[in-house]
Structure 1
Amino acid sequence: MQCQCCTDGGDNQVYNCVTRNRRLSAQLVICGRVKKKGKRSPGHMELLLKEMVMFLSPLFFVFMLGLGLTPLTLAQEDYGYRHFLSQHYDPQPKGRDDRYCENMMRRRDLTNPCKEVNTFIHGSKNDIKGICDDTNGKPGEGNLRISKSSFQITTCKHKGGSLRPPCRYRATKGYRVIAIGCRNDWPTHLQESFITPAQ
């Protein structure tokens, strides 16, 4: 907002203030003088406000930047973990046979196109998350973490042919140590090649 001090044609002086969108109506003020005892002139107050804005602007920018980035980071981590659970977590499986695989792969939206191999982990979320720290995990190759405990799993392998639906899967049940990738102590990736289904 820009303000200009001028006279109204008489003894009084006014501020004409212009904003980006509209012109504000002129307000009667006494420019550059003390209007009442104990109160400073509008010109002095305007200067004080400008100084405060100049001082606080960098701090406000840093504060807003922090507020903006924190939810973004949390959202990315939350998405990675939820995606991991959607693809690989089933705490209470039923059947664990070929039909189980075909139903689960379809429900988890892994059949367009048909995903060739996918493993479902049957266990608690806490035990799986614990692989990302020393609670239930240890360092593996690269950035992978290896579980200290074994998990009951069902591996669904595409029977071959076209990867277009309908998809047909063969189920293999097992009890295996698993390897996962973590981001900020949250599981985000299951290393399928680490799991060798029993023959």
Structure 2
Amino acid sequence: MVEKEVLIENPWYSSLLLLLVLTLLGLGLVQPSYGQDRMYQRFIRQHVDPQVTGGNDNYCNVMMQRRKMTSYQCKRFNTFIHEDIWNIRSICSTTNIQCKNDEMNCHEGVVKVTDCREIGNSKPPNCRYRARASTRRVVIACEGSPEVPVHFDR
């Protein structure tokens, strides 16, 4: 018990802890704020699948359901990015461009994707999709410090 109290009260220990926190901040390893983190996690759930290089119709049908985009209604269109999250995050460091909502926090990059478009008259949770795999330019909105992707714009 005495050893723990001595360790916490030791100024060297406090300095080391402060240095560690500042180092993590500097390296960008600290998570974004709660709201941005929630939006970042949602972006990953809805748009990131690095394990695949391109999908077919069955891929879209399975992934849209697995990623919970068909529970209450069929999401009409969704894009899965087939890149490592660090490659996607690096898009946030490119030049800012205008988003569809006129904000200036969008960035563009070229990535491998599968676009999933709903086939008319499908019903949740068994929504049906047509897939189109390609390598193309995408635009994502980024926020935070460090900036992380929070919205797939186009």
Distance 1:124 1:168, change over 3 A: same
Q: Return the letter of the residue paired with 1:145.
A: C
Match of 2:132 in 1: 172
- Size of the aligned set, in residue pairs, is 116
Q: Return the letter of the residue paired with 1:89.
A: V
Cα distance in 1, alignment partners of residues 70 and 48 from structure 2: 17
- Which consecutive aligned stretches of 4+ in structure 1 deviate over 3 angstroms post-superposition? none
Cα distance in 2, alignment partners of residues 179 and 144 from structure 1: 10
**Which one has more relative contact order, counting CA pairs under 8 Å at least 6 apart?**
2
Match of 2:77 in 1: 117
Match of 1:145 in 2: 106
Q: Return the letter of the residue paired with 1:160.
A: G
From 99, 105, 121, the equivalent of 2:58 is 99
Highest CA radius of gyration, 1 or 2? 1
Match of 2:26 in 1: none
The alpha-carbon deviation at position 129 of structure 1 amounts to 0.8
Cα distance in 2, alignment partners of residues 183 and 95 from structure 1: 27
From 125, 129, 133, the equivalent of 2:89 is 129
Q: Return the letter of the residue paired with 1:159.
A: I
Which blocks of at least 5 consecutive residues in structure 2 are unaligned? 1-31
The alpha-carbon deviation at position 183 of structure 1 amounts to 1.3
From 136, 148, 154, the equivalent of 1:186 is 148
Say whether 1:77 aligns with 2:39.
no
SS at match of 1:160: coil
With normalisation by structure 2, the TM-score equals: 0.69
Cα distance in 2, alignment partners of residues 105 and 85 from structure 1: 13
SS at match of 2:133: strand
Q: Return the letter of the residue paired with 2:76.
A: E
Q: Percent identity?
A: 36
Distance 1:127 1:169, change over 3 A: same
**8 Å contact from structure 1 (residues 146, 177) kept in 2:** no
Cα distance in 1, alignment partners of residues 116 and 138 from structure 2: 15
- Say what the alpha-carbon RMSD is for the aligned residues: 1.7
Q: Return the letter of the residue paired with 1:80.
A: M
